[in-house]
Amino acid sequence: MPVTLDSSAPDFEAQFSALLGSKREEAVDVDDTVAAIIADVRARGDAAVIELTAKFDKLELTPETLAFTQDEIEHHCAAVPAPERAALELAAERIRAYHARQRPEDARWTDTTGAELGWRWGPVSAAGLYVPGGLASYPSSVLMNAIPAQVAGVERLVICAPTPGGVVNPLVLLAARLAGVDIVYRIGGAQAVAAMAYGTETIAPVDKITGPGNAFVAAAKRRVFGRVGIDMIAGPSEILVIADAENDPDWIALDLLSQAEHDESAQSILITTDAEFGQAVARAVDKRLETLERRAIAGASWRDFGAVIVVRDLVEAAALSDRIAPEHLELCVADPEALLAQIRHAGAVFLGHWTPEAIGDYVGGPNHVLPTARSSRFSSGLSVLDFMKRTTLARMTPDALAAIGPAAEQLAISESLEAHGMSVRARLDRLNR
């Protein structure tokens, strides 16, 4: 059974703090293994990647077959049924339209001293997108990672999507095609991350790596950070639903289960102002779990990490939500806009009774790669900006240098950086001749 808390109970704070502090990720010590894999790929390139793919994915490759050929991609794309193709095309269209609005603008201006200042935005040159493989892979994640990169203007995009035992998900390849990615490598794990970061004889290195993965992939991304950029280290999925009694308990139950079915370590929390409604949702969850296809996974998640929290009012609900800082937040209340104004920390917010989180996973438009484990307190979901970098610009005129140069010289002297100060003073002396 999930945890049931009541904010009016004397021990609520202790129970809520315990809920926040519960560890949902099993501590798997993979770092030494990952370090060895990365070192092997750096030293032996293609040979290491091929051997590790045979070992972990039971797939024999050669340098020539590391990537799908264009004919193979076309063949698999042609196998996608029309309804699924149409759904994926709609998702791609909406995701592209949303992210196009995120492109930042360059700026230049002249300040009161006559100095010209500004910034210029530009894309990274190459990005590598990791996609978990096999039939359990998610084509929606391909779109969510690749389309923002394409909108940003990244020139070279590659995907690593393992195919254990040679099993291919045609939807992943179709998503790659719709997102404008032509190179898809059938490799995965830490070896794929290492290959994208350092390069091999066949695989050219990239500048940024994004996309979800298992503990080995996450550890590899941590280790290559600095050599390349990464998006984030994502943990198990999570959803918080704030709901009043004017909801269908079954709808809310399904929303909670939509995240619980991802992973046994996922977390689904309901905050409600009505205790009876909270009980009705819990009963509806139990009823749905009797027939849900992924009931073993969802049931374990709900049992071990689920929670129903009863609060006095929505002000209290908002305060608790900010402490949870959820990945996904549904506001199923009469006036979601008013409640939204009180919320500061959430990866993505879904407003009103008719906006299930699942829409955001597929066709809403905003990105579904979101900060987990309370990291929405200080980070954001994947966006076009993750594939761009800002270069600052400055041009001094003689008058501008005369106005602000002496202060720069003084600060350089204060920091005992003689050449810094002298580089400014040499120009000031020329002006004073």
What is the average pLDDT across 42-69?
97
- Tell me: do 224 and 240 sit in the same domain: no
Domain limit, last residue, from 187, 206, 230: 230
pLDDT digits (tens, 9 = 90+) for 364-400: 999 999 999 999 999 999 999 999 999 999 999 999 9
CATH number at residue 332: 3.40.50.1980
Which pLDDT band holds residue 214 (cuts at 50, 70, 90)?
confident
What are the tens digits of pLDDT across the range 234-286?
A: 889 999 999 999 999 999 999 999 999 999 999 999 999 999 999 999 999 99
List phi, psi (to 5°) of 174: -65, -40
Per residue in 305-322, pLDDT (tens digit) is 999 999 999 999 999 999
Domain final residue, candidates 230, 257, 289? 230
pLDDT(134) > 80: no
Task: Assess whether 129 and 180 both reside in one domain.
Answer: yes
Please tell me the predicted confidence (pLDDT) of residue 326.
Answer: 97
309 lies in a domain?
Answer: yes
Q: How many domains does one find in the chain?
A: 3
Whether residues 180 and 258 fall in one domain: no
Q: What is the mean pLDDT of the chain?
A: 96
Confirm whether 173 is domain-assigned: yes
46 and 127: one domain?
A: yes
Active site residues: 327-328
Last residue of a domain, one of 214, 230, 246: 230
Distances 172 to 63, 154, 214, 322 between C-alpha atoms, Å: 22, 20, 18, 35
Looking at residue 353, its pLDDT comes to 97
252 and 223, same domain (yes or no): no
Are residues 366 and 317 located together in one domain of the fold? Answer: yes
Per the CB < 8 A criterion, the answer to whether 247 and 165 are in contact is no
Which pLDDT belongs to residue 176? 97
Across 102-110, average pLDDT = 98
pLDDT in tens, 152-169: 999 999 999 999 999 999
Q: Give residue 211's domain range.
A: 31-230
Clarify whether residues 220 and 247 are in a common domain. Answer: no
